[in-house]
A and B are shown apart, each in its own frame.
Chain A
């Protein structure tokens, strides 16, 4: 490989590489992960608050509580995206704003808003699932496989 390069050239390249690595800020990895941890943790704590409200004040059962929590968190994610605040959070939070279910809502609203000018049907209606669609395809698809496997196991 690279037989035409002289030993000197290779040496310079190697030194340049170490120089680049030294000047690339390496705290950014730890900082980004810490930010994702804090924001993601905060969003999940908010979710815990919503779930306690559903359970204690609204007297919902377990299935009702989880549905209520999902609906409220999705609403918050969609609303904050609509008023342009979720993307601001996302700049700091990274995966902390993507991984929670609010990020799922964010992916729907931001895609829908972006393609709004293409119309209500093929613009918003189709494009809102540009990221959420694959999530549902793989999630629901995998759950059917799990269900079929559980059925086969139940036969024995």
Chain B
């Protein structure tokens, strides 16, 4: 059942992105920035958490989930270590994904040769 929920919610978030690209001429880069920032705002307002609990990866895998993790990390950080947590919390919570993106990104760019575009 969790898989169906993840499929539907994840699919809907992507469908909204596609609608935005087609209807507003927003570039993919702006969509990504908008999704992350939107995720931070929704996370801070406490709106996104129920979606994560309901749909699992359907809510965490899209970039709004990355924004949610940043906001949650910052708020948890403040609850644990005060003002310092506002700065350390967000990146601490998302460290795995960011480090993996840098490491695997670099590795893949060095190993693989770009294919000629067909």
**What distance in Å separates the Cβ of B7 from its nearest Cβ neighbour in chain A?**
4
Across the interface, do B100 and A71 meet the contact criterion of CB distance under 8 Å? Answer: yes
Across the interface, do B61 and A96 meet the contact criterion of CB distance under 8 Å? Answer: no
The contact size tier of chain B is 35 or more
The contact size tier of chain A is 35 or more
**What distance in Å separates the Cβ of B13 from its nearest Cβ neighbour in chain A?**
6
A134 at the interface (CB under 8 A from B): yes
Across the interface, do A138 and B37 meet the contact criterion of CB distance under 8 Å? Answer: yes
Give bound CA distance, A138 to B64, whole Å: 12
Within 8 A of B (CB), among A126-153: 128, 131-132, 134-136, 138-140, 142-144, 146-151
Across the interface, do B97 and A124 meet the contact criterion of CB distance under 8 Å? Answer: no
| Chain B interface helix/strand/loop/mixed | helix
Across the interface, do B75 and A105 meet the contact criterion of CB distance under 8 Å? Answer: no
**What distance in Å separates the Cβ of A145 from its nearest Cβ neighbour in chain B?**
8
Q: Which of A100, A105, A148 has the most CB of B within 10 A?
A: A100
Interface residues in chain B, defined as those with a beta carbon under 8 Å from any beta carbon in chain A: 2-3, 6-22, 28-29, 31-33, 35-37, 39-41, 43-44, 56-58, 60-63, 65-67, 69-71, 73-75, 77-79, 82-83, 85-87, 89-91, 93-98, 100-102, 104-115
